Structure 1
Amino acid sequence: MTKTNRRALLGGLAAGLMALTALSGAAYAQSVTLSYLIPSGADGVAVAEELVKAFEAKNPDIKIEIETRPGGSEGDNLVKTRLATGSMADIFRYNSGSLFQAINPAQFLVDLSNEPWEADIQPSFKQVVTAPDGTIRGAPMGAAMGGGIYYNKKIYEELGLSVPKTWDEFMANNEKIKAAGKVPVIQTYGDTWTSQLFVLADYYNVAAKDQSFANRYTAGEAKFATDPNALRGFEKLQAAHDAGFFNEDFGAAKYDDGIRMVANGDGAHYPMLTFATTAIAQTVPDKLADVGFFAQPGDDATLNGLTVWMPDGIYIPQTTANLDAAKKFVAFVASVEGCEAQTRAGGASGPYLVNGCTLPADIPPAVSDMLPYFAEGGQNGPALEFLSPIKGPALEQITVEVGSGIRPAADGAALYDEDVRKQAQQLGLPGW
């Protein structure tokens, strides 16, 4: 080979290497890493991991790093702080409804109104992630949920109990369970947010007696302490405590303890939202068939029905530096493939609000128990926080006090009314 040929060959190799380096650099430049903030908890983490895995398989140029945050008021404050300081993750999961309104969505969140996937989102969800200016700022993350009471089916079979349709029947069941030496009602105040269920899940019973309550409440005309129907939730929480129905460690036990206890039969009832079905499937899958679910009973069997929670939303803060990639991930979550990934992660916990998403045939009993409330002729209605922008942030601390015997129901309701007044004034609502 002549020197000229060698120089030509070497020159060609050098040029090729430079071109390859340039292409690699371009590919590297196109690679994006997104941060995704979610509430902590085994169920939420498992769903997030499966969504990320499925999304990354379709989008190898986009990587997603999952961050976790506390639940309850601590998590609410963290979300607000990170939004206000411009330090929010590229995508985050958070409540829809009143707590969504409390984070100033028009100021902090990206407008998703014109995204193509919005056509497949059910209107009932769109209204709970719509900012005051009429723009849609989120997509559904998870299934619609019921608020009510998980129960251990084996305990019910052993003691010959029937699913109660009234509060008196529920309390009678608890007496029989206690007499048998078992824990009637599981409470987990180590995670304070779980203490709210007896109050919040009672809203269907409030609305069944007075459909005007939500509007009057928002206008500052109806109060928990002075409305007998609304006060009942606080009274039920106090009654269950005063009867000695709670587990001994109710003040320290946490949510993860609660789902294990009801699944394993260490307690008969656990008031909770039905998203916990996913957590049961993750933590005690062999006991999933032993857990059923029913709506929180009211005082009239003919008005028995389910209080329904819309799923969380998934949002993009306006501070993201990776808007196109973040929108791709949100679009994936709001698709049939996104629903399927969520179901794979822990089974179905309720109906999805994305058109085309279906539930598998082998859904667990706690989910099938919920579906009749959604069937034609079934009875269900939204939780108060989806009908009113007002939800006082101190409710979980107040219900811990009522549920611990520290504060009577009437005083707790009155204190919550004051908490609600402050929240309404912060939102600038008329009548407050």
Structure 2
Amino acid sequence: MVKGLKVGAAVLIALSLLSGCGSNDSSGGSGDSAGSGKVELQFLQYKPEARDTFDKLIAKFEQANPNIHVIQDNPPDASTALMTKAASGQLPDVIANGGDNVHASLVQSGVLADLSSDPNLQKVSDVYVKILHDISGSDKTYGIPYGVNANGVIYNKALFKEMNLTIPQTWDEFIALCKKIQDAGKLPFYFSFKDAWTSQPAFNALAASTQGSDFYKRHSEGKTTYTSEYKEAADKLLQLVTFGQKDSFGKGYNDANVAFAKGESVMYAQGVWAIAEIKKANPSIELGIFPYPATNDPSKNKLISGVDQLLSISASTEHPNEAKKFVEFLLDPANAKEYVKGVNTFSAVKGVTQDDPSVSDLAPYFDKGQIADFVDHYTPSNMKLDQLLQELIMKKDVAGFLKNMDDEWSKAESRK
């Protein structure tokens, strides 16, 4: 899951002032690589699990383009590092970050190149291009979707088979499934609310499928509120968490990955990003993942999928042609396939599939475009949605939670 940060007004002002300045200088910008005559491209990407895969792709690119040297930067807190570089006029030539409010802030500050007419956009799914437009609030395109992720219910296939369970298609079937597992003396879900962000995956799915059409647009225009449209999602989250272990606030994300891998629960409320960690704890586990059946109308139940990795170019790069060549290389179907295989994610590039059998249940939703973005991609981080959800789960006060959501949204808007 992409966990972004909202840039404060002061940083946005700094970005605006610096957006017209050259982003490269002798202290860390692009230039000749060690006097070799090669063009040097700075490439910042934010996913630590993608570093090795990008290293391999960069080596392949440099072999085909010996006059270009790509330097990968993958700092620990990449979103903060990216904004600091942007604010100081040192934006890397090529950026691979998430489709979230950090991207929106960069777009609004004018530091990214406009890629609206880039022919490479024809290679990617229109669904994810639209998601980036919705996030940035712009009808222009400043990043090309690359890797995409998915949020759902991970389940233990062996236990499903042993207990004669089937994947639910509706909310009522989902709750009946949880009760059947519970009645059999097993734990339906293992939760990890010690890490506040882990309260968000289930809520993202429940809200996205129940909040009504065009909620983000109507909400930004002041035509609706969380109170009027998020009660169903909040009620259903509280119902779902009753099927977890008693000490759900005493366990963190890593604890839950290991517990699920050991078979301590039949299901796990996470996303595809957890699969690799689960398999590290139990390489032989056979698992799958299905979208949350958030409503009793299967046609309204969306797969929650967002832009996990997008490719942008600095508006002030000294090497736009080389930067575009690197982006085009990454978007080549063969290279995009290598990326999704290495990072265990999905691709926004048309025709590039993820062949891991553990995610096969999600394929029909991608094929039909029955997809919605993560709710928290549209929520300013200074609202602290994760903490509000923790409070909701502990206090079970839905009305208070919804009021807090509306109040915190108003505060976040007033800070812009």
Q: Does 1:163 align with 2:158?
A: no
Summarize the Cα distance change of 1:414–1:215 in structure 2 as closer, same or farther, 3 Å threshold. same
Summarize the Cα distance change of 1:298–1:52 in structure 2 as closer, same or farther, 3 Å threshold. same
* Cα contact 1:140–1:353 (8 A) shared by 2: yes
Within the candidate set 196, 199, 203, 2:200 is matched to 196
- Distance apart, 1:420 and its partner CA: 2.4
Q: Does 1:291 align with 2:287?
A: yes
Q: Distance in 1 between matches of 2:312 and 2:97?
A: 8
Q: Distance in 2 between matches of 1:419 and 1:304?
A: 28
Q: Does 1:399 align with 2:357?
A: no
Summarize the Cα distance change of 1:339–1:379 in structure 2 as closer, same or farther, 3 Å threshold. closer
* Cα contact 2:258–2:281 (8 A) shared by 1: yes
Q: Distance in 2 between matches of 1:67 and 1:249?
A: 32
Which one-letter code corresponds to 1:29 in the other structure? G
Q: Distance in 1 between matches of 2:52 and 2:179?
A: 37
- Please name the residue that 1:219 is paired with: 221
Q: Does 1:338 align with 2:332?
A: no
Structure 1 unaligned regions, length at least 5:
1-23, 428-432
Q: Distance in 1 between matches of 2:340 and 2:290?
A: 22
- Distance apart, 1:117 and its partner CA: 2.1
Root-mean-square deviation (CA), in Å?
A: 3.5
Farther off after superposition, 338-347 or 24-33:
24-33
Which one-letter code corresponds to 2:113 in the other structure? V
- Distance apart, 1:157 and its partner CA: 1.9
Q: Distance in 1 between matches of 2:258 and 2:296?
A: 31
Q: Does 1:39 align with 2:37?
A: no
Q: Distance in 2 between matches of 1:137 and 1:97?
A: 13
Q: Distance in 2 between matches of 1:192 and 1:236?
A: 18
- Please name the residue that 1:315 is paired with: 312
* Cα contact 1:106–1:133 (8 A) shared by 2: no
- Please name the residue that 1:16 is paired with: none
- Distance apart, 1:177 and its partner CA: 3.4
TM-score, with structure 2 as normaliser = 0.76
Q: Distance in 2 between matches of 1:280 and 1:329?
A: 33
Q: Distance in 2 between matches of 1:135 and 1:215?
A: 17
Summarize the Cα distance change of 1:108–1:345 in structure 2 as closer, same or farther, 3 Å threshold. same
- Distance apart, 1:234 and its partner CA: 2.1
Structure 2 unaligned regions, length at least 5:
1-31
Q: Distance in 2 between matches of 1:190 and 1:59?
A: 47
Deviations 1:282-325 (A, max 9, x none): x368346x111122122414545223323231223446555444
- Please name the residue that 2:359 is paired with: 367
- Please name the residue that 2:64 is paired with: 58
Which one-letter code corresponds to 2:219 in the other structure? Y
Q: Distance in 2 between matches of 1:223 and 1:126?
A: 26
* Cα contact 1:264–1:287 (8 A) shared by 2: no
* Cα contact 2:41–2:93 (8 A) shared by 1: no
Q: Distance in 1 between matches of 2:130 and 2:310?
A: 12
User: Residue 265 of structure 2 aligns to a residue in which SS?
Assistant: coil
User: Residue 192 of structure 2 aligns to a residue in which SS?
Assistant: coil
Summarize the Cα distance change of 1:314–1:28 in structure 2 as closer, same or farther, 3 Å threshold. same
Q: Distance in 2 between matches of 1:257 and 1:322?
A: 45
- Distance apart, 1:138 and its partner CA: 0.9
Q: Does 1:358 align with 2:352?
A: yes
Q: Distance in 2 between matches of 1:29 and 1:333?
A: 23
User: Residue 226 of structure 2 aligns to a residue in which SS?
Assistant: coil
Q: Does 1:29 align with 2:37?
A: yes
- Distance apart, 1:201 and its partner CA: 0.8
- Distance apart, 1:78 and its partner CA: 5.0
- Distance apart, 1:196 and its partner CA: 0.8
Summarize the Cα distance change of 1:79–1:239 in structure 2 as closer, same or farther, 3 Å threshold. farther
Deviations 1:212-251 (A, max 9, x none): 5444323222222233xx222222332333x261473654
Summarize the Cα distance change of 1:419–1:141 in structure 2 as closer, same or farther, 3 Å threshold. farther
User: Residue 267 of structure 1 aligns to a residue in which SS?
Assistant: coil
1:107-122 pair list within 5 angstroms = 107-122=110-125
Deviations 1:368-405 (A, max 9, x none): 10112244xx572322659xx842322122223323x1
* Cα contact 1:139–1:334 (8 A) shared by 2: no
Q: Distance in 1 between matches of 2:186 and 2:90?
A: 48
User: Residue 283 of structure 2 aligns to a residue in which SS?
Assistant: helix
Deviations 1:20-40 (A, max 9, x none): xxxx99971325252423134
- Please name the residue that 2:371 is paired with: 381
Summarize the Cα distance change of 1:173–1:411 in structure 2 as closer, same or farther, 3 Å threshold. same
Runs of at least 4 residues off by over 6 Å: 24-27
* Cα contact 2:191–2:244 (8 A) shared by 1: no
Summarize the Cα distance change of 1:346–1:132 in structure 2 as closer, same or farther, 3 Å threshold. closer
Which one-letter code corresponds to 1:248 in the other structure? D
Q: Distance in 1 between matches of 2:188 and 2:289?
A: 15
* Cα contact 1:202–1:307 (8 A) shared by 2: no
